[in-house]
C-alpha cells in the first residue's frame, strides 16, 4: 500500500511495543521519518533500530508524557532531529 508518506514527519508516543510500535513501523515502512517516545530509554533505543531498518529516519527519547514540560521538550527535540515539523505552537506550548 502506498500512503504517500515519503518525506512526511510523524511523532508517535508510547511507541516501543504494541499498537504504538505497529503504527510507528507502518509509518516508517511507508517512508515517513518517525520520532518516538516511551518511558523506557532502552526500549526506545531498540525501537529506533527497528524503525531505521525500515529505511527511514528514526529518532527517539525516553519521556513521561504526563509531564507537560518534558513532552513539549520532546516535541521540540523531535522537530530538530527530523528537520522540522508542522505544529500549532500555541496549542503545543499552551499552559494548562
The residues spanned by each domain of the chain are 9-92
| pLDDT above 60: residue 94 | no
Residue 62: burial class (beta carbons within 10 Å; 0-12, 13-18, 19+): middle
Nearest-angstrom CA–CA distance, 62 and 41: 5
Which CATH number does 9-92 carry? 3.40.50.720
Digit-coded pLDDT (tens) for 49-85: 999 998 889 999 999 999 999 999 999 999 999 998 8
Grid coordinates in use for 59? Answer: 529518532
Grid coordinates in use for 12? Answer: 508517535
pTM, to two decimals = 0.84
Q: For residue 14, which phi and psi values (nearest 5 degrees)?
A: 55, 45
Sign, CA torsion 12/31/47/86? negative
Amino acid at each position: 500500500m502506498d500512503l504517500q508518506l515519503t518525506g512526511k514527519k510523524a511523532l508517535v508516543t508510547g511507541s516501543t511495543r504494541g499498537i504504538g510500535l505497529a503504527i510507528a513501523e507502518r509509518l516508517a515502512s511507508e517512508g515517513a521519518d518517525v520520532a518516538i517516545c516511551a518511558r523506557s530509554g532502552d526500549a526506545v533505543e531498540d525501537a529506533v533500530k527497528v524503525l531505521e531498518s525500515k529505511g527511514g529516519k528514526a529518532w527517539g527519547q525516553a519521556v513521561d508524557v504526563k509531564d507537560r514540560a518534558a513532552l513539549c521538550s520532546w516535541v521540540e527535540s523531535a522537530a530538530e532531529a527530523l528537520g522540522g515539523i508542522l505544529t500549532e505552537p500555541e496549542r503545543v506550548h499552551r499552559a494548562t
